[in-house]
Amino acid sequence: MKKLLQCLAVTFTLFTSGAYAAGPTEVVYHIDDAESQGIKGLRNIRNHLDVSPKTKIIVVTHANGVDIMMEGAKDKKNGIEYAPLVGALKSRGVRFEVCEITLTNRNLKKDQFTLDTDFTPSGVVRVADLQHQNHFAYIKP
């Protein structure tokens, strides 16, 4: 019993002292409406990386959120083009994924999207898997 308590004490000390340093924070940003989330989400991600540059970020888009990844797409409110903002974030390590179910439902083709786009079979499943299996934090701007 004494050995068990000593072992637990050492383990607790190692964890609380930082000896088991965690890797970078991993976050999934979930965008399903470009009009209400596009610019806000991209700015949130930029700010996130400005403060915490080692954060691993995956942006998963589906439904109308995929519009931020379409070639030539602009924010409807202020005419800001999404592609330069996405490209700048991509160069900082952010991954952008578009739901293939949305492509089918909206009759879209992969060649309508910027070169910065990656694809995932299901945006909703991808978000769930990143949260559950990979323990990503979840942010919906």
Instruction: Please write the tens of the pLDDT for every residue from 40-50.
Output: 999 999 999 99
**pLDDT in the model for residue 100:** 98
Contact 53, 92 (CB under 8 A): yes
- The model's pLDDT over 4-18, given as tens digits with 9 standing for 90+, comes to 445 445 455 545 444
The structure's pTM equals 0.84
Strands (E), 8-90: 26-33, 56-64
CA atoms within 13 A on the CB side of 81: 7
Question: Bigger pLDDT: 17 or 109?
Answer: 109
Provide the 3-class DSSP secondary structure of residue 134.
Answer: coil
Residue 140: other Cβ atoms inside 10 A: 12
